[in-house]
Amino acid sequence: MEHTTNSITLRGSLVALPQFSHENHGRSFYRFTLEVPRLSGAVDLLPVIAEAQIVERLDPTAGSLLTVTGQIRSHNQRAENARHLLIFVFATDIVVEDGEPINDVIVEGPLCREPNFRRTPLGREICDVMLAVPRAFHRADYLPCILWGRTAQEVSQCHTRDCIRIYGRLQSRIYTKLLESGPEERTAYEISALTADILQEEI
């Protein structure tokens, strides 16, 4: 795949003011959480990282919401002989404005593992996949996606290296992980697909 399809547009409200995150090659980055309501009334709390110059030029008098455009990124964090996949939004532009909430995602890449198809106790069909979405310099972002119904059925017939384009939203989900020290509440992030195209292309 010679091109990269990885875009996200969010509009929501700040949970707290941006905080310094890290420096990389002399550039400073800030992190904040954006609260984006769903039509159902549920709320997604989504982590965003932006370069300092993007955050510093925001005009707080222009509205009460932030519109963030960028890409969904992943990072493998190693801790205590284990890996934890961090998912976040890398912002390329942020605008202060009012309007309806937005959570629009388009990602494309090959499956990097076999699809996991299952049914809920009520019979709803679900398929979990992991896309390896290409990035510059021969890197990739590994993004978990969840598909539903007929789309889940169709994608469940795919195999590793089949290329999929997914249209959907980025959502947060709280779950409990059982550790030796006891249960711990954690947040997972995944792309919930509205539609998906099977591109029948191998990388």
pLDDT, average across residues 13-26? 93
Cβ-contact 38, 44 below 8 angstroms: yes
Task: In whole angstroms, give the CA distance from residue 197 to residue 165.
Answer: 5
* Residues 62 and 101 grouped into a single domain: yes
Indicate the number of domains in the chain.
2
**Which of 55, 86, 105 is the last residue before a domain boundary?**
105
N-terminal to C-terminal alpha carbon distance within the chain: 6
**Which of 52, 71, 105 is the last residue before a domain boundary?**
105
Mean of per-residue pLDDT scores for the chain? 92
Task: In whole angstroms, give the CA distance from residue 165 to residue 120.
Answer: 25
**Which of 105, 136, 167 is the last residue before a domain boundary?**
105
Burial string for 148-184 (b: 16+ CB within 10 Å, else e) reads: eeebbeebbebeeebbbbbebbbbbeeeeeeeeeeee
Question: Considering Cα of 171, then 184, then 119, then 108, what sign does the dihedral take?
Answer: positive
pLDDT at position 56 is 92
* Residues 13 and 49 grouped into a single domain: yes
Question: What is the widest separation between alpha-carbon atoms in the chain?
Answer: 53
pLDDT at position 202 is 46
CATH no. for residue 123?
A: 2.40.50.140
Structural domain includes residue 110: yes
pLDDT, average across residues 101-113? 97
pLDDT at position 198 is 94
* Residues 92 and 167 grouped into a single domain: no
Structural domain includes residue 203: no
Give percent above pLDDT 70 in the chain.
Answer: 95
Task: In whole angstroms, give the CA distance from residue 126 to residue 119.
Answer: 6
* Residues 79 and 10 grouped into a single domain: yes
Task: In whole angstroms, give the CA distance from residue 82 to residue 80.
Answer: 5
* Residues 118 and 92 grouped into a single domain: no
pLDDT, average across residues 73-82? 79
pLDDT, average across residues 151-166? 96
* Residues 38 and 100 grouped into a single domain: yes
Pick from 190, 15, 14, 198: which is nearest to 105 by CA?
Answer: 190
Q: Read off the pLDDT band of 138 (50, 70, 90).
A: confident
* Residues 100 and 111 grouped into a single domain: no
Q: Is the pLDDT of residue 203 over 50?
A: no
Structural domain includes residue 153: yes
Task: In whole angstroms, give the CA distance from residue 184 to residue 65.
Answer: 32
Q: In the chain, which residue ranges form alpha helices assigned H by DSSP?
A: 52-56, 149-155
Structural domain includes residue 67: yes
pLDDT at position 1 is 42
Structural domain includes residue 1: no
* Residues 86 and 111 grouped into a single domain: no
pLDDT, average across residues 151-159? 95
| 78 compared with 26, residue with greater pLDDT | 26
| Alpha carbon 120 to its chain's center | 23
Domain extent, residue 70, equals 6-105
